[in-house]
Structure formats: structure tokens, C-alpha cells
Amino acid sequence: MNTPARLGLYAAGLAALFAGAYLVAGAVVPASTVEARQDEAAPEHDMDMETGMEDHGGHEAEPVRGLAIEQDGYLLSEISAPATAGTEGVLAFGVTAPDGTVLDRYAESHEKDLHLVVVRADGTGFRHVHPEFDGETWSLPWSWEQPGTYRVFADFVPGDAEETLDVTLSRTVEVAGDYAPRAEPPVTRTASVDGFDVTLTGDLAAGAAAELTVEVARDGEPVTALEPYLGAWGHLVALREGDLGYLHVHPEGDDPEPGATAGPAITFATTAPTEGRYLLYLDFQVDGRVHTAPFVLDTGGAEPAATESATPHGHDGTESPHGD
């Protein structure tokens, strides 16, 4: 037999050998079993390479916003504000659209075109206010109660985008003066503010949707006279301790009718993107006045044996921290 013929027979033999091995393997370990074992071996949670957040067990990780001056092409300008604590002045800023022009069109969200959230780096001095817009600049009268490093968040829905975008931009502002940061806050599920006692139930878990419920009481009696505020029975801002990452928290239930009252409970849905401690601030309205109650939660519901009752940061109990 010549050499080409011998090579042809050799190749045919190898093909037959591999085909037989494939059939035997299929009989011994079916494809469905292989796929199942691959699924079992897959990691329980993956990392989102853009946000650095884990997706645990198939739950969609809640996006963390407000960590940068730019999002989706929208850019927050420098913040103009008083340089020292106790000085009366104006806080002002603008937003630039993706095409480089001033953003002058906003879509209303929770009855406002823009929500301004300000908090000191240690979680104190929280304020949720609504500045005025002159077609180019957002501004409102302003003074700082305490010195320190503050984060200023601008939360809005652009009116020039083809799709609905929830945009949260932020910058830091340094306020001169003797700065004494507070120690790490303990887990806090109760708050006393302006004669109201507010209690929070529910736990946060990284990568999993959770319900948080707050109940409002006064003089030991449930408050059933909660009034609509910005189109809801209450608003909850959640910030991740450390970087003050801004979480989107959704009030549950139907929107309230104008003039209606409710209470004592308000329920919110949110997802903690990572393990850690979260600072929460509840805004609620009674008798036409807005009150702010702060809480602190760890993911997993872990907390010390005793928790402290908090009073609103930067709030003396006599004047609302809101400028609206």
C-alpha cells in the first residue's frame, strides 16, 4: 500500500475513534447533566465592572448615583456658596447638557424640576431643598451651620432627552472653620423630631430588594394625619456611608389624593448595592410642616444590643431644615 493510502486509512481510524468516544461520553454523562453541573459551579454573584456592585443570586443591583459631577453627558458646574460657617449668602450652580449648552429644560419629578440634597461627609447637616431656576442658574439663600466637607447632590430628570433619565450629580464644598467630625454613627431605628417619634422596621440586604416601613407617633399615639409631600406620603433618601453613594428609594402604594391624610405607616422599596452601613433620612409632613427623621442601617439587619434615638442632623427641633 502506498503512503497516501496508509495516511487516509489512519485518518479514518482516528475519526472513528473520536466518534465512538463522543457516543460513550454522551451515554455516561448526558448533556443535561453537564449543563446542570456548570450551573452549580457558577459563582453565586457577579461583579458589575462599571459600577463595582455585586449582583447577588440573580437580583439586579440597584445603581448607585451621585458619585460624580457627570452622568449621561450632563455636567454639574462649580458650586458657589458661602465659604465659612454662619455666613449668610447664596448657593448657586448650573447644569450643562451633553451638547455643551446650558440645560434649561427639566421634566417634573415628585412635583419639582430639581431636588437639592446637601449633607456633610460624616452624615450630619442633612437638607433636602428646592432652589429657584432663572433659565440658566439654580440658586437659593444659604448659610452653613457647621464647617466641614459637604456633598451637594442635584437630582433631576432632563427635559431634553429622548428617554426618561434619572440623573444625580454631585460636587463637594469645603466650609472653613474648626471641624470636629462625629464618630461612626451606631445603627439607629428610632428618631425623635419636633415631638414626633419615628420607628423604622425592615432590613437591607446587599443585592436584594427590601421593604422598609416607618411609623410615626406623637405623645404615644399613632399619627394618622400625614399629609402628601411632593406627591407622596413621605420621601426617603438613602446614602451609603463612606462614599455617600445616592440610592433611589421608591415609596410604595398609590399616589395620595390632594387634601387626603394617612398614617401612621409609610413603606419604601430599595436595594442596597453592596454590604455596608447606610444613612437614611425620612421627610414627612404634618400640619403643613416638613420634618426630617434620620436612621442608620447595616445590611443583613445586624445591630448592637441597644440603639440610640437620633435627632435630625443639623436640626435644633425648632425650625425645619427645609428651605421650601
Residues 119-160 pLDDT 10s: 999 999 999 999 999 999 999 999 999 999 999 999 999 999
**Which residue stretches of the chain have pLDDT < 50?**
1-59, 302-309, 311-324
Tell me, what's the pLDDT at 32? 42
The C-alpha atoms of residue 168 and residue 69 are separated, in whole angstroms, by 9
Measure Cα distances from 95 to 28, 199, 303 in Å: 64, 37, 40
Tell me, what's the pLDDT at 183? 85
Nearest partner of 156 among 89, 94, 200, judged by Cα = 94
For residues 277-307, one letter each, b for 16 or more C-beta atoms within 10 angstroms of the residue's C-beta and e for the rest, the string is bbbbbbbbbbeeebbbbbbbbbbeeeeeeee
Tell me, what's the pLDDT at 150? 97
Within 8 A by CB and 6+ apart from 107, the residues are 113, 157, 158, 159, 164
The C-alpha atoms of residue 227 and residue 39 are separated, in whole angstroms, by 50
Tell me, what's the pLDDT at 63? 72
